[in-house]
Structure 1
Amino acid sequence: MKRLFSFMAIVAIVLASNCSRIPENNDPIIGIWYRVEVINASETSKQTIRQEWIFNDVYLGRYQKYNGSQLDFKTDFSWVVDKGVYTISYPGTDMTKNVVSMIESPDGMLLEDVKGETLAKRE
């Protein structure tokens, strides 16, 4: 009788584990996107600000902001897509949501906001 219960428990575990597969996400936004700004700090020096958005396949990501080579700020974000429009949210921060679309340009793939301004470029 113990063997029967053990066998039934093993069968139940195998069946339950096969039912919980996560669907594969092949969204084209997955990867690293960046924006670089060069600011004149003074007449003789320039300051480089680099922002990175790293999108992963479970609708999450990491945002990082570098001032020169120094990491200035980093936070996690979540993203959703609806009919080609991506909404990027930064929970736990005062950063506003980004609503962008992916477009192809001669410079490569870009994330463009609703005003037509470029948020980031694919790395």
Structure 2
Amino acid sequence: MKKLFSLMAIITIISVSNCTRIPENNDPIIGIWSKVEFAENSETGRQTYRQEWIFNDVYLGRYHSYDGNQLTVKTDFSWTQDKGVYTISYPGTDMPAHQVSMKNSDEGTVLEDVQGNILALKE
């Protein structure tokens, strides 16, 4: 009887594992997006500010903000897509959500907010 239960358990595990396929997400937003700004400072010279969004295929990502070489913000985010509009939310922070769409420009593919401001450039 133990052999029969063991055989049925193995068959059940194999059949369940074959049925649970995760659909592949090929959304074009997946990848690394960044925005770099430069500021002149009389004390330190030229200062670099960099923001970076790393989108993955399970509707999550990681946001980094750098002041020069110093990491100032590191947080996770979630994203959704509805009719070409992407909503980027930062749960657990006071950062506002972004609503952006993808556009092609002379610089490459960019994320543009609803006011027409460029949020980030695809790397």
Q: What is the TM-score of this pair, normalised by structure 2?
A: 0.95
Verify: 1:81 aligned to 2:84, yes or no. no
Amino acid at match of 1:122: K
- Map residues 1-123 of structure 1 onto 2, 5 A cutoff: 1-42=1-42, 45-123=45-123
The alpha-carbon deviation at position 40 of structure 1 amounts to 1.8
The secondary structure found in structure 1 opposite 2:72 is strand
The secondary structure found in structure 2 opposite 1:95 is coil
Amino acid at match of 1:49: Y
Q: Which runs of 5+ in 2 are unaligned?
A: none
The alpha-carbon deviation at position 19 of structure 1 amounts to 1.8
Q: Which runs of 5+ in 1 are unaligned?
A: none
The alpha-carbon deviation at position 43 of structure 1 amounts to 7.1
The alpha-carbon deviation at position 54 of structure 1 amounts to 0.3
TM superposition outliers: structure 1 runs of 4+ over 3 Å = none
Distance 1:37 1:106 in 2: 18
Q: Kindly report the root-mean-square deviation, in angstroms, between the aligned alpha carbons of the 2 structures.
A: 1.2
Q: What is the TM-score of this pair, normalised by structure 1?
A: 0.95
Q: Give the aligned length.
A: 123
Distance 1:43 1:67 in 2: 15
The secondary structure found in structure 1 opposite 2:4 is helix
Over residues 15-46 of structure 1, what are the superposed CA-to-partner deviations in whole Å (9 max), with x where a residue is unaligned?
A: 11112211110000000000011112227712
